[in-house]
Structure 1
């Protein structure tokens, strides 16, 4: 048995001892909270969570620092492929955990480590509301063009996220705004579909393809019409999108409006915007 194995066993004993004596020492055997807590703890360990995972998920910064000082592997994964950093970010509101996340990254946690769904910490941050943590991940080499199992990048996540500061940060640090997912959808499609006007404009301003088509042949303008969003239609038209592109059903955005939106309260307005574009 080498010294690392001995250290691990001693570490587990120390932590178990601490768990026991965090309860009423005279009555812990009869405590209603002791057995469920310990059972939960062991259940999580059986799912591949390390002690570091549990400490991070609990928000216990001092324990995380202690474990990292003991050279516990910061990139150990649970059964879902998550490091302690990913579990922390997926488990709770992590916006106030800047110092703990800094500790994990400084200890060598990979900001681009993906779980079984291909999600990285950068994906999670892009869908959140902490620009500070996103900046930190980028500073430690976080890749804004990494793709998950569905082909989505952090730019997709930020495009669906209503946070305007997040999309600005992501766009300004991303190398490619036109990566499409497995359905052929670009971040611009997602921004349009979620009605995020600021996002649409900043994506276009930074080089997003205005006329990119998904695997159904639909452009962002098609999506805006499907969403019955006249303001979004107008925004895309004002940025000189090609309104004449046909999808795989041989339908332009105008055709979709005429075929599917005649009973929509926004039909007349959308139709007028498209007619005006045609005349110009």
Structure 2
């Protein structure tokens, strides 16, 4: 294993891929009809969200206008109606339940995309759990969309109604993956707040199609507060991503993110965790000529004598860097299997 091979990983270049929702960005929402009170004007968002996110607007017959028409006059569930069986729903309510666009969106998907909280809340209240978990053609559930748009109230209501946290979109991301990737801290809070450890564990362990668990995505995107939340909720600090076997600590070292390195070490991450090729975080730090992080790892007890599959110690990757060499002088010299450091002659 050379220092280059212990160097940059190709997935670090594209770690901010989306959950499949970016394909919506070229499709503009049709404006709500004039004076319609059913949907408000779309709010201004950051440049990344300047174009609206809607898989249904382009080829579907359902538009902002027809969505308003569909809801107009529909008697959504009241407190008394709440106890009715689905068979007792009105014909108009049943139509709401069964309306699906060509792109697989339910009317709840569309309400969330429009960011109309009133209608979103009414639909969540009306729909049974099975409808809340319908995924569109990009395998995005309403919870995925609400998380991406940072609609905390919608996320809270969906989770309280029992929407699944385990559903994966076309990239393998759960809604919690989306929150970790895009820094939606409050959404992440709502998805983990009152969930039992047994139900949350599978979500925290789920890897997307690039082999990344939630903690990996949080580390890759320097989401320190979300990292703290995940650890508090029981995320495995040493879970390996599926392509090269890196832990969150390896990824933090890759990014020269000393804040994440300190956070993970303080929480008990394995300082000597090995990738599939045997490289430890210290191998990576030395290979990247990062003396500050290499020093921190050594201070945390990193074993300087561990060898990767190329039979290299971290010292072998120092490439003449005096600051790094000073961390472990003579550590590679052994007599009878013992390091000469500290031996008396």
TM-score range, shorter chain: 0.7 to 0.9
Answering whether residue 98 of structure 2 is matched by residue 40 of structure 1, we say no
Cα deviation digits, residues 46-67 of structure 1 (max 9, x gap): 2222221122122111121232
Larger RCO (CA under 8 A, 6+ residues apart): 2
Answering whether residue 329 of structure 2 is matched by residue 270 of structure 1, we say no
Equivalent in the alignment of 1:168: 228
Cα distance in structure 1, aligned partners of 2:165 and 2:210: 19
Q: What displacement does 1:102 show?
A: 1.2
- 1:82 alignment partner, SS class: coil
Q: What displacement does 1:147 show?
A: 2.2
1:55-204 aligned within 5 A: 55-71=111-127, 73-90=131-148, 92=149, 94=150, 97-141=151-195, 142=200, 143-182=203-242, 183-204=244-265
Name the CA shift for 1:20/1:124 in 2 (closer, same or farther; >3 Å).
closer
Q: Is the 8 A contact 1:147 1:153 kept in 2?
A: yes
Q: Is the 8 A contact 1:105 1:140 kept in 2?
A: no
Query: Normalising by the residue count of structure 2, what TM-score does the alignment of the two structures yield?
Result: 0.62
- 2:326 alignment partner, SS class: helix
Name the CA shift for 1:272/1:89 in 2 (closer, same or farther; >3 Å).
same
Query: Normalising by the residue count of structure 1, what TM-score does the alignment of the two structures yield?
Result: 0.76
Aligned length: 240
Q: What displacement does 1:218 show?
A: 0.8
Q: Is the 8 A contact 2:277 2:309 kept in 1?
A: yes
Cα deviation digits, residues 4-23 of structure 1 (max 9, x gap): xxxxxxxxxxxxxxx89714
Cα deviation digits, residues 222-243 of structure 1 (max 9, x gap): 1112222111111101101011
- 1:46 alignment partner, SS class: coil
- 1:42 alignment partner, SS class: coil
Structure 1: which 5+ residue stretches go unaligned?
1-18, 26-36
Q: Is the 8 A contact 2:218 2:226 kept in 1?
A: yes
Name the CA shift for 1:270/1:38 in 2 (closer, same or farther; >3 Å).
closer
Measured on the aligned residues, the alpha-carbon RMSD in Å equals 2.7
Equivalent in the alignment of 2:52: none
- 2:273 alignment partner, SS class: coil
Structure 2: which 5+ residue stretches go unaligned?
1-29, 37-54, 63-100, 333-340
Equivalent in the alignment of 1:9: none
Answering whether residue 270 of structure 2 is matched by residue 209 of structure 1, we say yes
Cα distance in structure 2, aligned partners of 1:39 and 1:218: 48
Equivalent in the alignment of 1:12: none
